Structure 1
Amino acid sequence: MARLYTPWYDKLLWYLNIFFALLLAASYTAPYIKASSATLPAFMGLLFPYLAITNMLLVAFWLVRLKNRFLLSLVLLVAGYGHLSRIVQFNSRNEYPASEAIRVLSVNVKSLGLNGPEFQTRDAAKVFDFLREGVYDVYCFQEFFHTDRKDFSPLDSFLALTDTEYDHIEFPVLFRNNKFGIATFSRYPIVDQGLVEIETRGTNLCIYTDLKIGNRTVRVYNVHLESLHFSKEEMEFLTGEDDEWSLEGIEKAEGVIARMSNAFHNRAEQSDILRAHMLNCPYPMIVCGDFNATPVSHTYHTIANGMKDAFKERGKGFGFTFNGPIPMLRIDYILYSEPLQLEFFQIIDAAISDHHPQEAYFIVPERDNYN
């Protein structure tokens, strides 16, 4: 009997399928391997959404061709469902809950779009217009900005628009009468506050704020972990705007890889410190912020261990939060612990910065033998 002829492109695609399947499998190791031990898994974890989509397309291709080669990618995708569920969810859309829910907003406001030597805040109007549209009880802002200029006071605007009585603000960076940091605003009294002593760089830091809500104390962590700090030239290279291959291009690629490796390592250390702080917390917790890490990462796995992910519990659709030039990234989170009950969550489609805002509504049960 004559052997069935296999087209050359089938063979090529099959070899590519094996290659991308192996990369997908490698990405699954990222949450469990610290960057100080090996950085390659961290890079693979960052690529997880793209690898998952590639393998889905390959499954569809082999199914159309009626070949059982689709099983390789399908088995790996099923094995990685836990990771997939952190970037896409099919929960039914729930309505806004009753008024007794605690309303929480978290967003990286990117210093209000601060740009250029004149310190023009090109996104301030968009941020303030957005705040006028919603009412929340707790606001967590990363990359918060204030200036001592007489003609413009961002802090006064935030206080007026949030209509909050209490705030916890840290400004680690001061430059030409401009202040950069992180801020938590609350309608509930603050009974304690402080810094989590992670090694900070620029506006990357973590604060905690203990709020008195009813007869309970609830701790809110506001988190902004290590950023990549790409230069303009490196970002253009990364996004393909500068696609010229030359010695200079190779140097840019090396610079990008070095910055990413350093950020992976620093975030791993920061997440370990934050996790240790959380383990000593006697209260129910809400963790809001910009982790600068995907759900398939050691950073997320460390912080989210034992916590509930608001997107996973109540989100719908894709969970991508980054609104910048690199698509399909979820790097912003709202996590919480029991006995808090999540009533509503959504990622808001509002282009007020390079991050989408997130909102979550919680019921805080009355204390009953629980701090």
Structure 2
Amino acid sequence: MRRSFAFKSTLLIILWVLAAIACVQVPARTFWPAAFGALTLPVALGFNVGALLYWLLRSWRVAVLPLLVAVLTWPHFQRGLALHPLHVVPPTSAPGQSVGVLSANVRIFNVYPQLRDGGLNSSRKLIEWIATNPADIICLQEFYNEPKATQDGDVFNAVRRIGPEQAREVFVSKTLTNGIGGEFGLAIFSRFPIVHRGTVSFGKLTQNHAMFADVRLPSGDTVRVFNFHLQSMSMEERDIVDSYSSKAGFERKSRGLLARFRRGMVSRSVQIDSLVHRFERSPYPLLLCADLNDLPYSYSYDQLADRYQNAWASIGNGVGATYNGRLPFVRIDNQFVSSEWTIDDVQVHREVPYSDHFPLTARYRLHAPAPSE
């Protein structure tokens, strides 16, 4: 009886895994409840590993079932918990065109009063760290720049500090300019020439959007860099924590959170489909940097992971959490590259705590020539 119950439970776990993977494929604009099923995938994969260990001790024949599922779903497992303990970072002199990339959501460099600290210390340190980073290409979300000195001096002249002062070309895609001339939006900085540029709007009702720059490498190859920020859920961290910390908090917060969660998922599914169509038409190798506002077990992430290499999932170790807050194990910032690239190194910089996102850096080598123009 006990073995029969364990066997039936194993079958239910396998069905759960398969159903959750199916949910990942469903865009929220078509059937938004599927997104909740997708979020259970890491739990289902964990239970399948538990079932595998159980049957390895009980019955090798039955163990084949969860083992087969574990092998077939290993790429999905790696999305949330990357395991590459044997990866060795090659020397920078390894053959191929090497490109260092930094991406980060900089939270407008903490310019708002509620984000500031004494002497604008965190703002200064974050801009300085980014400016002096050796990355060849920098992609920033929630970017802010003040071209002219204000009562804060030139602390927030991020374009000058990260761009010309460090011999980088600059492309800023502005979504808003405030009363003192401060610019909000996205930014790409490059030590290599930017030969073409453009923006992708997600519609008039959102400031989230995408931008791209075609960059000419010293080898003569051209690559296309996309920097994008998908729709947020406009959910305060405190509300999320309160919703699961007590029954009263759940009853008070859950309905509003659910509505915002649904709106965010639907918007992101539309935005990522629009972007994927553009990615697929690119004549050049792709470098994609993004704040997805979505977890690795989401439709948005899946559409990218099915087509491109994720830097962390490919060679990283651990969860690779990029969110700097009370919600644990959250990786919403990612870099993806097309098949022409080899991923040599990737790091989440938890030692840089000046935003609510940790910066992500990676190094790539272009091992196939780009098409000629």
1:189 to partner: Cα distance: 1.4
Residue in structure 2 matched with residue 89 of structure 1 by the alignment: 83
Deviates more, 1:324-333 or 1:157-166: 157-166
Residue in structure 1 matched with residue 25 of structure 2 by the alignment: 32
Residue in structure 1 matched with residue 242 of structure 2 by the alignment: 237
1:164–1:185 Cα contact (<8 Å) kept: no
Residue in structure 2 matched with residue 228 of structure 1 by the alignment: 233
1:234–1:255 Cα contact (<8 Å) kept: no
2:312–2:346 Cα contact (<8 Å) kept: yes
1:224 to partner: Cα distance: 0.7
1:239–1:325 Cα contact (<8 Å) kept: no
1:295–1:330 Cα contact (<8 Å) kept: yes
Instruction: In structure 1, give the amino acid aligned to 2:100.
Output: R
Instruction: In structure 1, give the amino acid aligned to 2:198.
Output: G
Establish whether residue 262 from structure 1 lines up as the match of residue 260 from structure 2. Answer: no
| Structure-2 separation of matches of 1:256 and 1:306 | 31
Establish whether residue 111 from structure 1 lines up as the match of residue 108 from structure 2. Answer: yes
| Structure-2 separation of matches of 1:146 and 1:284 | 30
| Structure-1 separation of matches of 2:154 and 2:174 | 15
Establish whether residue 44 from structure 1 lines up as the match of residue 37 from structure 2. Answer: yes
Instruction: In structure 2, give the amino acid aligned to 1:131.
Output: I
Residue in structure 1 matched with residue 360 of structure 2 by the alignment: 358
- Match of 1:188, SS state, is coil
| Structure-2 separation of matches of 1:175 and 1:239 | 37
Q: TM-score normalized by structure 2?
A: 0.81
1:306 to partner: Cα distance: 2.8
Instruction: In structure 2, give the amino acid aligned to 1:135.
Output: P
1:55 to partner: Cα distance: 4.6
- Match of 2:152, SS state, is coil
| Offset from partner CA, 1:237-269 (integer Å, 9 cap, x none) | 2463xx2427xx424201111111111111110
Residue in structure 1 matched with residue 322 of structure 2 by the alignment: 321
Establish whether residue 165 from structure 1 lines up as the match of residue 168 from structure 2. Answer: yes
Residue in structure 1 matched with residue 277 of structure 2 by the alignment: 276
May I ask how many residue pairs the two structures share in their alignment?
Answer: 359
Instruction: In structure 1, give the amino acid aligned to 2:362.
Output: A
1:104 to partner: Cα distance: 0.8
What CA RMSD, in Å, does the superposition of the two structures yield over aligned residues? 3.4
Residue in structure 1 matched with residue 196 of structure 2 by the alignment: 192
From the superposition, tell whether residues 365 and 357 of structure 1 become closer, same or farther in structure 2 (CA, over 3 Å).
same
1:31 to partner: Cα distance: 3.0
1:159 to partner: Cα distance: 3.5
1:96 to partner: Cα distance: 4.6
| Structure-1 separation of matches of 2:342 and 2:160 | 28
Deviates more, 1:340-349 or 1:191-200: 340-349
Residue in structure 2 matched with residue 127 of structure 1 by the alignment: 126
1:174 to partner: Cα distance: 3.6
2:295–2:330 Cα contact (<8 Å) kept: yes
1:86–1:295 Cα contact (<8 Å) kept: yes
2:202–2:208 Cα contact (<8 Å) kept: no
| Offset from partner CA, 1:14-41 (integer Å, 9 cap, x none) | 9987776654433211331111221222
1:216–1:366 Cα contact (<8 Å) kept: no
1:146–1:153 Cα contact (<8 Å) kept: no
| Structure-2 separation of matches of 1:65 and 1:306 | 38
Q: TM-score normalized by structure 1?
A: 0.82
From the superposition, tell whether residues 317 and 32 of structure 1 become closer, same or farther in structure 2 (CA, over 3 Å).
same
Establish whether residue 80 from structure 1 lines up as the match of residue 73 from structure 2. Answer: yes
From the superposition, tell whether residues 22 and 327 of structure 1 become closer, same or farther in structure 2 (CA, over 3 Å).
farther
1:89–1:318 Cα contact (<8 Å) kept: no
| Structure-2 separation of matches of 1:144 and 1:152 | 18
From the superposition, tell whether residues 308 and 222 of structure 1 become closer, same or farther in structure 2 (CA, over 3 Å).
same
Deviates more, 1:96-105 or 1:29-38: 96-105
2:215–2:225 Cα contact (<8 Å) kept: yes
| Structure-2 separation of matches of 1:111 and 1:239 | 29
From the superposition, tell whether residues 369 and 112 of structure 1 become closer, same or farther in structure 2 (CA, over 3 Å).
closer
1:273 to partner: Cα distance: 0.8
| Structure with more helix by fraction | 2
1:368 to partner: Cα distance: 6.9
- Match of 2:233, SS state, is coil
From the superposition, tell whether residues 40 and 366 of structure 1 become closer, same or farther in structure 2 (CA, over 3 Å).
closer
1:301 to partner: Cα distance: 2.4
2:311–2:337 Cα contact (<8 Å) kept: yes
| Structure-2 separation of matches of 1:74 and 1:113 | 48
From the superposition, tell whether residues 128 and 50 of structure 1 become closer, same or farther in structure 2 (CA, over 3 Å).
farther
Instruction: In structure 1, give the amino acid aligned to 2:28.
Output: A
- Match of 2:282, SS state, is coil
1:236 to partner: Cα distance: 3.7
Instruction: In structure 2, give the amino acid aligned to 1:93.
Output: V
From the superposition, tell whether residues 135 and 18 of structure 1 become closer, same or farther in structure 2 (CA, over 3 Å).
same
1:290 to partner: Cα distance: 1.0
| Offset from partner CA, 1:296-354 (integer Å, 9 cap, x none) | 22212223443222223332333333233222222222111243333322333334223
Establish whether residue 208 from structure 1 lines up as the match of residue 215 from structure 2. Answer: no
- Match of 2:130, SS state, is helix
